[in-house]
Amino acid sequence: MAYLPNFFFLFLLIVSLYIFFRNLKKVKRNISLGKDVNRNNNSNARLKNMLRVAFGQSKMGSRPVAAILHLIVYVGFILINIELLEIILDGILGRHRIFAAFLGVFYDYLISTFEILAFLVLIAVFLFWTRRNIVRLKRFFSPETVGWPTFDANNILYFEVVLMFLFLFMNATDMLLQEANVDLYVKTGIFPVSQFFKPLFLDLSIDNLIFFERAFWWLHITGILIFLNYLYYSKHLHILLAFPNTYYANLESNGKFDVDSSIKNEVQLILYPDKEISSEINTPDKFGATDIFDLNWIQLMNAYSCTECGRCSNVCPANLTGKKLSPRAIMMKTRDRLEEVSKNLDKNNGSFINDNKQLLNDYISPEELWACTSCNACVEECPIEIDPLSIIMDMRKYLTLEKSAAPAELNSMMNNIENNGAPWPFSNQDRLEWVKE
Ligand code: SF4
Ligand code: SF4
């Protein structure tokens, strides 16, 4: 009977971790639906890029206030894992503050640091919430953020507040039990923030204090496990995916497009019909992309990693001038379609049954695609190096090469190139006519 809480804790932990890893496996499966692309080269440069951009948050600096607030929440998230480790060991072994015995006075400083951090996280979360709900920053409000995305963004802030208060209340009641020399509640020194919450629990009997301390402990760890499993459904999956996303980011200069050899071949065939072309290059079944299966796995990982911060749309010239395009929406729609495919696979034992839908038209319209100026500002601005432009270009490729459905202006330019070898409607034989004049 004495071990019942330990068994229950272990059960809760195993179930939560099982669901978490099952969902993570699903994310991996869904990302693997994308085409293969080799980004295993240059591992040193990739590692440096990941440390600089994801770990060091180097691209957040363009907005210093948001960067500092985000850093506080981020450091809080990293450090809280140390505290979490202790909670898990306590829960399994039926101990209380297991690290205190090993770390001595260092433990006091550690707990003090966590408390100060928890306080700073509360301030940061309050400012984030105010920015979103009172100041109503424009980039948080666009058609793609209506409904779940806004609910999700607020949800996580409320989650953080509840978790931080539970942590501080747990320490406040613990401190009172330490002062009363109750067995198990070892003296652990200073509690710089939670001591201000002590008055809330001063009148409680020892039994009630123990009850509340335990309740806060259980709610805190349960909240963390719920948070862990909520990640899959949330834009906060970026907490995990920002790291691989920046590791596998495109290290080429922004703006340099991949030259698709098969397309180069086709163009050469049109322009120089007599020239011999390489026979080693396989012409694909389809040029460009209409659905997630035609994108590569990095593009799909990008979709799962998007933080929905809207920095890309905020600098997008098409978006700023009232066009239908929003690079954030491109990423969100790609993820939505990916999730739809994922449900289809789950329902059909891992086989995809044609649902007569696709990313193009059902989610992303040609109007959005052709509004893009291919300026690369969205790629440049993204704090975790997501590339919405590559998806736009792949879908345009399909419209152009498979459907000849480019806008009329582009079609006439391409016809001119095909017929005259130049974008203008004049034969290249007449190129020097102006000299005679
Ligand atoms: S590349 Fe396209 S989507 Fe990105 S910012 Fe420029 S216009 Fe907008
Ligand atoms: S693509 Fe990047 S900049 Fe745009 S919303 Fe997603 S994370 Fe933010």
Over the stretch 105-120, which tens digit does the pLDDT of each residue have?
888 888 888 899 999 9
pTM, two decimal places: 0.89
308 lines ligand 2 (CB under 6 A): yes
Distance in Å, CA 131 to ligand 1 centroid: 25
Mean pLDDT, range 146-173, rounded to an integer: 93
- Looking at the chain, the whole-number percentage of residues with pLDDT higher than 70 is 98
Higher pLDDT, 269 or 317: 317
Q: State the pLDDT at residue 58.
A: 87
327 lines ligand 2 (CB under 6 A): yes
**Residues 6 or more apart whose Cβ sits within 8 Å of residue 101:** 186
Mean pLDDT, range 154-175, rounded to an integer: 93
> pLDDT digit string (tens) for 272-294?
777 776 666 677 788 899 999 99
pLDDT at 237 over 80: yes
Distance in Å, CA 311 to ligand 1 centroid: 12
Q: State the pLDDT at residue 279.
A: 65
Candidate of 364, 372, 376 to mutate for ligand 1, largest count of ligand atoms within 8 Å of Cβ: 372
> pLDDT digit string (tens) for 374-405?
999 999 999 999 999 999 999 999 999 888 88
The closest alpha carbon to 240, from 249, 229, 231, belongs to 231
Whose atoms come closest to the Cα of 389: which ligand? Answer: 1
pLDDT at 422 over 90: no
Q: Are the CB atoms for 84 and 2 separated by under 8 Å? A: no
- Please report which confidence band the pLDDT of residue 93 belongs to, taking 50, 70 and 90 as the band edges: confident
Candidate of 331, 335, 336, 376 to mutate for ligand 2, largest count of ligand atoms within 8 Å of Cβ: 331
Distance in Å, CA 54 to ligand 2 centroid: 13
Mean pLDDT, range 171-181, rounded to an integer: 93
> pLDDT digit string (tens) for 120-150?
999 999 999 999 999 998 888 889 999 999 9
Lowest mean pLDDT segment, chosen from 19-28, 72-81, 152-161, 218-227: 72-81
388 lines ligand 2 (CB under 6 A): yes
307 lines ligand 2 (CB under 6 A): yes
Whose atoms come closest to the Cα of 373: which ligand? Answer: 1
Degrees, nearest 5: CA angle 312-314-320: 120
Distance in Å, CA 327 to ligand 1 centroid: 7
